[in-house]
Amino acid sequence: MSKLTAIVILAAALITALPGCSRDPKVRRQKYMESGERYLQKGDLAAASIQFRNAAKIDPGSADAHYRLATTDIRLQNWPEAYRELSRTVELDPKNIAAILQLASLEMAANRSDDARARLQSVLSADPNNADAHLLLGEVLMQQGEFQAALDEVTRAEQLSPKNARVLSQLGDMNVLLKHYPEAAAYYERALQADQGFLPAYFNLAQLSRLQGDAESEQKTLERAIATNPKAIPAYFRLAAAYLRAGKRDQIEPLLSNLRSATDNSTQSLLAIGDFYLQLGQAPQAKKVLEDAQQRDPKNIALRKRLMEVHLQLHEWDAAEALNRELQKSQPKDLDNRLFNARLLLVQGKKAEAVTELQQLVHDAPEMSKAHFTLGVAYAEQGDNERAINSLKESLTRDPNQMPAYLMLGGLYLSQNDGKVALDYAEQALARNRSFVPAILLRANANLQLGKYEPALTDLRALAAAMPTNPVVQERLGFTMLQQGKYPEAEKNLEQALQAQPDSVVAMTDLVRLYALQHRNAQLVPRIKQQIALAPKQSTFYELLGNALLEQHDVAGAEQAYGDAIGQNPDAIYSQLQLARIYADQGKYADAIAKLTASLDRHPENLLAYAFLGSLYEKTGSIPQAEQTYQKALARNPDYAPVLNNLAWLYSEYGGNMDMALSLAQQAKSKMPDNTQISDTLAWIEYRKGLYGSAAKSLQDIVRSSPDVALYRYHLGMVLLKQGNAAEARAALKRALELKLSARDADDAKKALSELSQKM
């Protein structure tokens, strides 16, 4: 054989072999598995998940691929996906005890304790000496309230594994529940002797110190955890939180610097630091850290997703959109990217587009709890509370640990004055995390709405003791004192809130109300200006100033304040409306219309602006433009009562369809049955249609509730005149003229009185 022939044969053999290799699912699966492991080592969990998912698709019968995907999804907190992959793992490999135990853990977290219990008992039937199964069964029994049985199981686990740090730590937890604090501390120390790197024992011991009010011991325990585990990222943030509670903010930056050094600026540590800043509301600092991380690891998908979040919080829409487009190109089917795009549309005010995209997303991925949650938020922003509540409940069905959903539901029920249901959602959240501060605040707010001040104060004072500089807690305490008429205490708490957070709108609004209740009008404007000096970029403070100046009849000063608010925030809708009102009051209708038109160009969803603009068109005699404006508003919300009322009035007063006017007025009345102005419109249209009895009854009720409104007296007089009740008609019309009717209505009232005089 010639050398050339040998080369040709070898080449042919290689060509033949290569396709066979690429078609072998086990070989291809292994490549994806190895790639996934490399991503895990780099801390890029999202990329690792993709690779393990590819491995499972190529070789669906590989229990190992499904298991690695499941454990990665657990780290990503993708609980539904993790549960599904663990279930598949156990189907393929019923002897994978680790997967069975993890399934039981997820079931327990989802409050499916009966399922978890049955699964663990089956493990123990096959292996009665499995310490991990005894331990986990003890946790399940604790959840079910069977304390003695739980203690027996964990004690059995200790007998089987006397130096198991996790078991000893669990015994410590049980003694905490019994309030046997010295015994609990001893178990935690035994756990650390067994394994000095066991972080949960440090964390639980620190929590025990905090429970006993010993902040110094808490910090020292966490410092021990870091000294023993210098690369353990969670320990740094536990300590950072402890420093925050103790008012030691100056120690946080050196702590985070030590974390960066200990981990050699790993992507995972920089991501965690970025998240920490985001939780503190310090988006610019988060951006700086994450951009540094991206320079070190430019292809990391998790980093890029977190940077999108930062851009979103900083209102850097273009940067967020650009990153999202890049990720959608490389991952067109990625659910997180689709969800982010919908969120971006939502914050940009494109609510209808966001809802459409989210509806498609929950259709394509019904198990995606966060998509249901965001759809609920979108519905709420559209004012559709019923659908918002349904979507939020669906998100909890998919993931019972979706804590923001409990808070959002509680908030929606509070907005509907249903404190009882709001309280229930607060308790459901706290059943999953007793120390979850937002849920404690929700419970306090629900109790406040229910008039239960003592339990609210108990919660708020406990929070204030644990975090004395928390502005939200201080504001809520101030609000509670304000509700109870305890003005000095209220002022003290509110000033503390503003000291901790100078741009707190809620605290400043409460303080303005406090000044009003105490009739401290002369002090109000200087106090608001003082706060503006401390937080000059907070546009709402300028609005509060404008309102205070209007109360003092300083129209020029108010106009300047509202203008300053818009200068700080071009989307300050309230200031735009207030400026339009000032112009209208001054007879500058063209300026008012121009201001409202510009506002609607930026915020076409603002129904109040449509109602105001339509009324200005009416005043200037531009009836077709008024009708068109009202129709635009109703196209966005057919049930918006103020516009239904205005359009009904327009039709009744300017030769429109009276049947349509009556129908619109009745629809408005059904939406806002207690609104006097709407009731008056309906009664006047009934008068125009000859329904005098119904109109008279309504107008008599209206005048009793609002005796000094000239228009209502005038309408009542005209109806009584038609009913032949001359004496009462004359009295009502005369009183209407005394109260200063509009020129047009005054002329009609005078004519009616003249006719009455001629008949006498």
**Alpha-carbon Rg for the chain in angstroms:** 34
Predicted local distance difference test score (pLDDT) of residue 25: 75
Cα 723 to Cα 690: distance, rounded to the nearest angstrom:
10
**What's the pLDDT score for residue 760?**
60
In whole angstroms, what is the distance from residue 703 CA to residue 718 CA? 13
The CA distance from 710 to 722, in Å, is 19
690-760: CATH topology: 1.25.40
Fold designation for 531-597: 1.25.40
What are the boundaries of each domain within the chain?
Answer: 400-451, 531-597, 604-677, 690-760
Question: Residue 639 phi/psi, 5° resolution?
Answer: -110, 15
The answer to whether the beta carbons of residues 425 and 406 sit under 8 Å apart is: yes
Q: Which two tokens stand for residue 186?
A: 């001893």
Nearest 5°: CA angle at 346, between 110 and 647? 120
Amino acid letter, residue 125: S
What are the DSSP calls for 537-569, one per residue? Answer: T-HHHHHHHHHHHHHTT-HHHHHHHHHHHHHH-
Residue written as token pair 């200990």: 262
Q: Are 421 and 449 in contact (CB under 8 A)?
A: no
How many CB atoms are located within 10 Å of the residue 2 CB?
Answer: 7
**DSSP three-state, residue 49:** helix
Say what the pLDDT of residue 15 is.
34
Residue with tokens 């990153």, as numbered in its chain: 323
Nearest to 504 by CA among 555, 469, 459, 454: 469
Using CA atoms, how far apart are residues 667 and 529, in angstroms rounded to an integer?
Answer: 45
SS3 content of the chain, % helix, strand, coil (to 5): 80, 0, 20
* 10-residue stretch averages of pLDDT, the chain, 760 residues long: 38 37 73 91 85 92 93 86 92 92 88 89 92 90 86 91 92 88 94 94 94 93 96 95 88 96 94 91 91 90 88 86 84 85 87 93 93 95 92 94 94 95 96 88 96 95 88 95 95 96 95 96 96 96 97 95 95 94 95 94 90 95 95 92 95 89 94 94 94 94 94 94 91 92 90 81
205 touches 217 (CB < 8 A): no
Fold agreement (604-677, 690-760):
yes
Quick one: tokens of 587?
A: 């007879």
Pick the CATH number of 604-677 from 3.40.640.10, 2.30.30.20, 3.30.70.2340, 1.25.40.10: 1.25.40.10
Element housing 247 (H / E): none
Let me know: does 645 contact 681? Beta carbons within 8 Å: yes
Q: What is the DSSP letter of 255?
A: H
The dihedral through the CA atoms of 360, 362, 364, 370 has a sign that is positive
Report residue 550: phi and psi, to 5°: -60, -40
CA 342, CA 185: separation in Å to the nearest integer? 48
Look at residues 611, 690, 634 and name the one whose alpha carbon lies nearest to residue 658. Answer: 690
Determine the Cα–Cα distance for residues 720 and 727; give it in Å rounded to an integer.
Answer: 9
d(CA 117, CA 387): 36
Q: What is the pLDDT of residue 19?
A: 39
Closest by CA to 144, choosing from 104, 120, 113, is 113
Position 23 scores a pLDDT of: 61
Structure tokens at 124: 């123990």
Q: Which tokens in the block code for residue 542?
A: 């300028």
What residue type is 329 in one-letter code? Answer: K
Distance of CA 145 to the CA centre of its chain: 32
**One-letter amino acid identity for 197?**
G
Task: State residue 109's pLDDT score.
Answer: 82
